[in-house]
Amino acid sequence: MKHHAYIGLGSNLQSPALQLESALQNIGQIPHCRLLVCSPFYGSKAIGPGQQPDYVNAVALLQCDLPAMELLHQLQRIELEQGRERGPEQWVPRTLDLDILLFDRQVIDTERLQIPHPRLQQRNFVLKPLFDLAPDLVLPDGKAVVDLLKTTGTQGLWQLPDLSS
C-alpha cells in the first residue's frame, strides 16, 4: 500500500544545510520509498535553554510502502549515520533530526511514535515548509495548516538560498 509521509528535517551542527542535503539523498535511498519533493530550507532560532547555533529546517514528502514504525526505524538509522547522538535531554544541538510529521491521515500514539507530531501545530519552522508543499493540507483533527500558520506567524524564520543553484 502506498503511503504519503511528511518528514520534518532539522540540523544546527556541522554545516546544517549540507546535513539536510545529505539526509535527503539518504531518504531517497530508503527501500520501498520515493522522495517526491522537499520544501525550501529555512533558518530558525534554536528552541530551549542555553545558546545554540541557528537551525536549518525543511519538510519533505515521501511516498512509501513501509508501515510508519519501519519508516521511523529507517529515519533513525539515517540520523545515527549522520552523527546524531541521542540522550535524555530535549532541545539540544544536533547534526540531524528527522521527524515523521504526518503519515497519510493516520493518528498513531505509542511510546516510540506519535503522529501527527505532537508539537507540529506550534512550530512555524515546521508549518511554513509544510504549507509550501501543501497549502490546502488539513490535519487529521480538521485543522488547516494555513490557519495554524496564521496563528504562529513566521517571526524568527527566514528562507535560505537554494544550494543547488
**What are the catalytic residues?**
84, 94, 97, 99
How many domains does the chain contain in total?
A: 1
Residue 76 domain-assigned (yes or no): yes
Residue 165 domain-assigned (yes or no): no
Query: For 75-110, how does the pLDDT look when each residue is reduced to its tens digit (9 = 90+)?
Result: 999 999 998 776 656 666 788 999 999 999 999 999
Range of the domain at 57: 3-159
Residue 165 pLDDT more than 60? no
Closest CA to 117 of 5, 2, 3: 5
Q: What is the CATH number of the domain that holds 100?
A: 3.30.70.560
Query: For 124-137, how does the pLDDT look when each residue is reduced to its tens digit (9 = 90+)?
Result: 999 999 999 999 99
Total Cβ atoms within 10 A of residue 89: 8
Cell 508539537, located at residue: 119
Residue 131 domain-assigned (yes or no): yes
| Beta bridge partners of residue 64, listed in sequence order | 3, 33
Residue 140 domain-assigned (yes or no): yes
Residue 164 domain-assigned (yes or no): no
Contact between residue 59 and residue 8 where contact means Cβ atoms under 8 Å apart: yes
- Full 3-state SS string of 116-165: CCCCHHHCHHHHHHHHHHCCCCECCCCCEHHHHHHHHCCCCEEECCCCCC
The confidence score (pLDDT) of residue 52 equals 86
